[in-house]
Structure 1
Amino acid sequence: MSNTVIENVNVDAQEILITPAALKAALPMSDAAKEVISQGRDTVRNILDGKDHRMFVVVGPCSIHDIDAAMDYARRLKALADELSDTLVIIMRVYFEKPRTTVGWKGLINDPYLNDTFKIEEGLHIGRKLLLDISELGLPTSTEALDPISPQYLQDCISWSAIGARTTESQTHREMASGLSSAVGFKNGTDGGLTVALNAIGSAVKPHRFLGINGDGQVSVIHTRGNAYTHIVLRGGSTGPNYDSVHIKLCEAALDKAGIPLNIMVDTSHANSNKQPSLQPLVIENVTNQVLEGNTSIIGLMVESHINAGNQSIPEDLSELAYGVSVTDGCIGWEETETALRTMRDRLKDILPTRKR
């Protein structure tokens, strides 16, 4: 009999991972955190349904790499969220997984110690604890649903989810989104086109059946009901920004033609700020002006923000990392964030209650 190896030819090793049920037992959710997450989800749904006049803002670091800085940011954001709550619903961006064009640091879940040790099980513990701690503060959280396995470990903590521009076209992610418990925003494609996002929304609202894992870590056929709360996120593309009033009107027409509710979120970062994070407040100002001028379709914003502005590379000596500065995409700093969102709230607080959607 031949000794030729034909299975797992390019696999070096396999590690047994903790089950979702075991991780949740080790890091259980309190009733207070559960209430915050549930209320956050309900509020987003009510905004999408036009039952809540406010807009929601997903704001926070491009990615989480420092738990202490993340909690520092969360405490600041909670105070700001309370201050602006009559007009803006603030949800903290807590991104653990980063899609890469080629290679690079893939995020806290994959490599929590930023040193290529890939302690994924420890990353899951660290990530879940952070989500629970932020929820305990009274602040709902959001993340990008990237890996199709990790939702079983973390998604019970999430009030709003994103599907990124690189994965909106993926059948796997459309199927996954159809079963997520939170509302889901699909970003337009990296080319700036809307078609992939419209198709993704049309797919995710329908039931699906696909391979996944259950709470006990067993490979299972997942049957979903479909997710009625999906919407588009405009993030610009290779053709340039797409948040201006002309692109918003074109998006409204495309949504209407596809029979999709006119709910548009604007990502102020990425191509919409020409990858210059300092331009994000100008995008916020433009969107605010559109609402003041009568727009009724824009329901939210995404903002990449950290304690300190800019970004940094990951050094070999991690003690050289600057505190509160992104290690992935550049962000605006905390003071700019406060000013931009306070200004937005002050300008919209009287108009949003009378907005007809």
Structure 2
Amino acid sequence: MTHQTLENLNIDGFQRMPSPAEVHTALPVPEAVAEAVATGRRDLQRILAREDPRLMVVVGPCSIHDPVAGLDYARRLKALADELSDTLLLVMRVYFEKPRTSTGWKGFVNDPRMDDSFHIEEGVRQAREFLLRIGEVGLPAGTEALDPITPQYLGDLIAWTAIGARTSESQTHREMSSGLSTPVGFKNATDGDLGAAVNGILSASHPHSFLGINDQGQAAIVRTRGNAQGHLVLRGGSGRPNYDTVSISLAETALRKAGLAENIVVDCSHANSLKNPRLQPLVLQDCAHQILRGNRSIVGVMVESFLEEGNQPIPTDLAQLRYGCSVTDACLGWNDTVTMLRETRSLLKAVLPKR
């Protein structure tokens, strides 16, 4: 028996991927963009440390599939961010990777042509180009870290990172989070359990050593310092919301028992809105009212929003795609997003500085 008969039995082939250093060299970060990313991270860290009273709002499309529409949204969002900046810190949701329950489009990095051709080398480059444009607009970007190698290519342009409900329990993602340069929000599990997320925050706060790649694309032992900016994201679970006052109180208790800061971000979509985008404003309104009644733990919210309300299937002929409409989870439309965030600012403007 030869060695070749023992490994790679289900591998169809290997294709060389450009190293992170090569991609960075081809698409360097201008000084103005670097400053925008650094400012976004610093502002988020100050919010988590209670040195900035504003509410962070991670808002944007469920996923990026059309960079033109995404940039259109970003420019509108920047104008709104400036208008509301005394009360809300808007972070654009820029999700390139989508976890799938079974199968489906895995996102812009994996399949940028949206035809199952999986030109990942194109996806990484185009994703980086898009993040550079977001930085030029002047917005901080938030994303979900799914593939543990992707941050080596894109992480220098990200201000906030989420670890999803399906991966909060993953040792790989906890180790990766311990080395990320951004604040990291761990989502509760899909069944609503908080334990995996709380343990994920704890684990990521400590140093780790694990296998990864360096900037040259070589296999390397990655040694991290630990990430002190972990926090909890409540997204509901098993078809039930968990943003109500009782759920928030239970989450505060779980964080306190673990010796962690009581920093909670409420995801207004997913199970908290029963995947109905029109319910997201009601979730945000409830969170705002909790703050008005004295809540101190809700430091941010997440909203799935795009130019057009709803979502659409991916057609065989991509020319048939509706402009500015999600191809993954249904989103709130732009006009309703503006109304919702303006109302939130009006409710909280006088209250947040006193928290």
TM-score normalised by structure 1 residue count: 0.98
Secondary structure class of the residue paired with 2:184: strand
Identity %: 59
Aligned-residue offset at 1:110? 0.3
1:130-158: CA deviation from partner (whole Å, max 9, x where unpaired): 00111011111010000001000000000
Relative to structure 1, the CA distance from residue 267 to residue 221 in structure 2 (aligned partners, 3 Å threshold; closer, same or farther) is same
* In structure 2, C-alpha distance between the alignment counterparts of 1:15 and 1:138, rounded to whole Å: 35
Aligned-residue offset at 1:239? 5.4
Relative to structure 1, the CA distance from residue 339 to residue 3 in structure 2 (aligned partners, 3 Å threshold; closer, same or farther) is closer
Number of residues of Structure 1 aligned to a counterpart in Structure 2: 355
* In structure 1, C-alpha distance between the alignment counterparts of 2:4 and 2:197, rounded to whole Å: 45
Which amino acid in structure 2 is aligned with residue 108 of structure 1? F
Structure 1 runs not aligned, ≥5 long: none
Aligned-residue offset at 1:312? 0.5
* In structure 2, C-alpha distance between the alignment counterparts of 1:295 and 1:238, rounded to whole Å: 25
Relative to structure 1, the CA distance from residue 332 to residue 12 in structure 2 (aligned partners, 3 Å threshold; closer, same or farther) is same
Q: Which residue of 2 aligns with 1:63?
A: 63
Q: Which residue of 1 aligns with 2:164?
A: 164
Which amino acid in structure 2 is aligned with residue 236 of structure 1? G
Structure 2 runs not aligned, ≥5 long: none
Q: Which residue of 1 aligns with 2:328?
A: 328
Q: Which residue of 1 aligns with 2:189?
A: 189
Matched, 1:175 2:142: no
* In structure 2, C-alpha distance between the alignment counterparts of 1:311 and 1:239, rounded to whole Å: 20
Which amino acid in structure 2 is aligned with residue 231 of structure 1? H
* In structure 1, C-alpha distance between the alignment counterparts of 2:113 and 2:346, rounded to whole Å: 41
* In structure 1, C-alpha distance between the alignment counterparts of 2:239 and 2:314, rounded to whole Å: 30
Aligned-residue offset at 1:215? 0.3
Aligned-residue offset at 1:277? 1.2
Which amino acid in structure 2 is aligned with residue 160 of structure 1? W
Q: Which residue of 2 aligns with 1:83?
A: 83
Aligned-residue offset at 1:2? 4.8
Relative to structure 1, the CA distance from residue 257 to residue 113 in structure 2 (aligned partners, 3 Å threshold; closer, same or farther) is same
Q: Which residue of 2 aligns with 1:102?
A: 102
1:238-290: CA deviation from partner (whole Å, max 9, x where unpaired): 05100011110111111111111010000000000011111000001000000
Give every structure 1 segment of 4 or more consecutive aligned residues whose post-TM-superposition deviation is greater than 4 Å. 1-4
Which amino acid in structure 1 is aligned with residue 285 of structure 2? E
* In structure 2, C-alpha distance between the alignment counterparts of 1:22 and 1:133, rounded to whole Å: 19
Q: Which residue of 2 aligns with 1:46?
A: 46
Q: Which residue of 1 aligns with 2:289?
A: 289
Q: Which residue of 2 aligns with 1:112?
A: 112
Relative to structure 1, the CA distance from residue 4 to residue 256 in structure 2 (aligned partners, 3 Å threshold; closer, same or farther) is closer
Question: How is 1:1-357 mapped onto 2 (pairs within 5 angstroms)?
Answer: 2=2, 5-238=5-238, 240-355=240-355
Aligned-residue offset at 1:6? 1.4
1:15-37: CA deviation from partner (whole Å, max 9, x where unpaired): 00000000000000000000000
Aligned-residue offset at 1:4? 6.6
Secondary structure class of the residue paired with 1:32: helix
Secondary structure class of the residue paired with 1:79: helix
Q: CA RMSD in A?
A: 0.9
* In structure 1, C-alpha distance between the alignment counterparts of 2:295 and 2:243, rounded to whole Å: 12
